[in-house]
Amino acid sequence: MTIRDRIAEKLTAALAPEALEVIDESDRHHGHAGWREGGETHFRVRIVSRAFAGKTRVERHRMVNAALAEELAGGVHALAISAEAPPIP
C-alpha cells in the first residue's frame, strides 16, 4: 500500500469525511529538503468532515495530524492541509 493510500485510509477511519482528496506533490519538490527518490514525501490533503464542526482551524489541523502521526514521524516530510466542516443546511 502506498503512503497516499494509507493517508486516505487513516483519515477515512478517523474522521469519516464527506469529501477527501490526497494529492502527492512530491514531484514539485525535487531537489528540496525532505525529497527522496520515489516520491511520497510531500502531500496536500483536502478534507470535509462533520467531525470538524465547531472546531478552529488549528483544532482541525491537529485532528488530521493526530490521525497521521505515524506517517508524519516516518516518511512524510510535508503535509499541506485544507480541513473544513460541511456547510450547515
Q: What is the model's pTM?
A: 0.87
Q: Residue 89 to residues 53, 61, 85, 86: CA-CA distances in angstroms?
A: 13, 24, 12, 9
Task: Decide: 28 and 9 in contact? Cβ < 8 Å.
Answer: no
Q: 15-41, pLDDT tens digit by residue?
A: 999 999 999 988 765 565 555 555 678
24 backbone dihedrals φ, ψ, rounded to 5°: -85, 110
Q: Length of the chain in residues, anyone?
A: 89
Task: Decide: 86 and 18 in contact? Cβ < 8 Å.
Answer: yes
Domain layout of the chain by residue ranges = 3-84
State the average pLDDT over residues 59-85. 95
Class of domain 3-84: alpha beta
